[in-house]
Amino acid sequence: MDMIRRLHREFIVIATAAIILIVTAALSVINGALYILVHDEIDTVMDYIVENGGTVSAQHRPVTEGWLLDGGWMDDTPEFSYQTRYFSVLFDQEGSAKVVNVNQIAAFTAKEALETAVIAAQQGRTEGFFKKDKASYAYTVTDTREGVLVVILDCTRDMAVVNTFLKYSLLFGFLSIVVFVAIVSVLSKRAIRPFIRNMENQKRFITNAGHELKTPIAIISANAEALELLCGKSEWTENILKQVERQSKLINDLITLTKVSEVSPKDVALSDMNLSAAVREAVQAFQPVIDDAGRKTELRIAEGVTAKAEPRFFGELVNILLDNAAKYCDDGGTVRVSLAPRKNGKGAVLAVSNDYRDGAHTDYSRFFERFYRGDASHSSAKAGYGIGLSMAEDLVKLLKGRISVRWDRGIITFQVELG
């Protein structure tokens, strides 16, 4: 069920990331278009004022142009000249003010308008924006035949439209994402329901088939042993018993894997455990297997290493790693087992290594995939079905730890960190 919850979360995260990307792109385009539209209108009005020598004519209104403009209120209403708030200052070639026009604005006196125009002319820029008393203004500095003309336009309402639209569009986008996530959280359960049923059917099939297969395998094993008693051991009876043992282990592994995958880390009670004793016991039990395979053993197990664990699961984990190391170690190689406290003093680090000279080009990222068997490391000459390491990863998750694999100078190492 932990896999189902993880799948559900990933489904929601991916869907949420997609809607955030879409909403962000849409709002960026809309707000960007509005910003360009407003700035084009401001530029059009200021260009019109400059062309009219720093004034606005009541009879002739500017024609709005631009790739986002298709006519506008300036073309359609005679109120344009009365609604446009601006002032202009014309300087002669010596920099003295010739004309100061403040008839169309109330926020500036003639003195303030002149001071502001001087500052704008000294900026070294032909146009720009500034704020005064929470109001927004645009300015332009233009060289004309009569001198330097500075026009300053009140664009507070225009910028307020942009800012207000930005604020409410962001709020709308945020609420849309929240609603979308809520809907996806509910509907995604229905979307993954067939997957859940399929997993449950697979688990049920594996469990039922495993129990059903145990009976004929037990009968085959008993008959083979009876033949050995009657006729003596032979090549054929040994092969039968060997394959029976192999199939029995496969069935047990499948059933164990199914049971482990059904357990949630929340349901596992972890307690302080002496890992040193557990690892030594597991190595001692596996020593005959390692010796029979012609491998050597090298131990570096610190005394008194403890960590939060569950004895049954930890013991099964160590057995899997030892079995894997003994099975895939190079001929005449060494199986190495080390256990030590973590550097921060909390928890433990277990490492099981074996000689593996042909591992330079192996895809280790797939080692924990269920039923994966690499061409080199898991050749068909070795007994196994690619279940053990997948089970090991599930067990480590139940123990709330981490497992990793690495290869360095002919040695492959599986490392488990427990908190």
- The CATH number of whichever domain residue 357 belongs to comes to 3.30.565.10
Predicted local distance difference test score (pLDDT) of residue 378 = 43
**181 part of a folded domain:** no
Cα dihedral 79, 83, 87, 88 sign: negative
Q: Is the pTM of this model over 0.85?
A: no
Q: What is the DSSP string of 44-100?
A: HHHHHHHHTTS---SS--PPP-STT----HHHH-TTHHHH--EEEEEE-TTS-EEEE
pLDDT digits (tens, 9 = 90+) for 5-25: 777 788 888 989 999 999 999
Domain ends where: 240, 262, 284? 262
Q: Are residues 120 and 201 in the same domain?
A: no
Let me know: does 365 contact 375? Beta carbons within 8 Å: no
Note down the domain range covering 209. 193-262
Contacts of 156 (CB under 8 A, 6+ apart): 135, 136, 137
Clarify whether residues 314 and 373 are in a common domain. Answer: yes
What's the token pair of residue 215? 């009976």
Bridge partners, residue 90, by sequence: 99, 149
The tens digit of pLDDT for each residue in 50-103 reads 988 888 876 655 555 554 545 454 555 566 777 889 999 999 888 888 999 999
Same domain, 327 and 347: yes
Q: Is residue 373 domain-resident? A: yes
Asked, for residue 171, whether it belongs to a domain, the answer is no
> Per the domain annotation, does 180 fall within a domain?
no
The domain total for the chain is: 3
**For residues 299 and 95, which has the higher predicted lDDT (pLDDT)?**
299
> Do 142 and 24 sit in the same domain of this protein?
yes
3-class SS of residue 107:
coil
pLDDT reported for residue 241: 84
Domain check: are 130 and 276 in the same one? no
Asked, for residue 221, whether it belongs to a domain, the answer is yes
242 vs 104: which has the higher pLDDT:
104
- Per-residue pLDDT of 143-186, as tens digits, reads 988 899 999 999 999 999 999 999 999 999 999 999 999 998 88
Q: What is the CA radius of gyration of the chain?
A: 40
Closest-CA residue to 104 (of 88, 122, 124) = 88
Asked if residue 222 and residue 290 are part of one domain, the reply reads no
Check whether residue 207 and residue 303 sit in a common domain.
Answer: no
Residues 377 and 239 in one domain: no
- Tell me which of 260-274, 351-365, 391-405 is least confident: 260-274
Same domain, 370 and 413: yes
* pLDDT tens-digit map of 334-384: 999 999 998 877 889 999 999 988 877 777 777 777 655 554 444 444 554
Cβ burial 36-74 (10 Å sphere, 16+ → b, else e):
ebbbbbbebbbebbbeeebbbeeeebbebeeeebeebeb
Return the pLDDT at 135.
92
CATH code at position 222: 1.10.287.130
Residues 411 and 280 in one domain: yes
**CA–CA distance, 68 with 315 (Å, rounded to integer):** 71
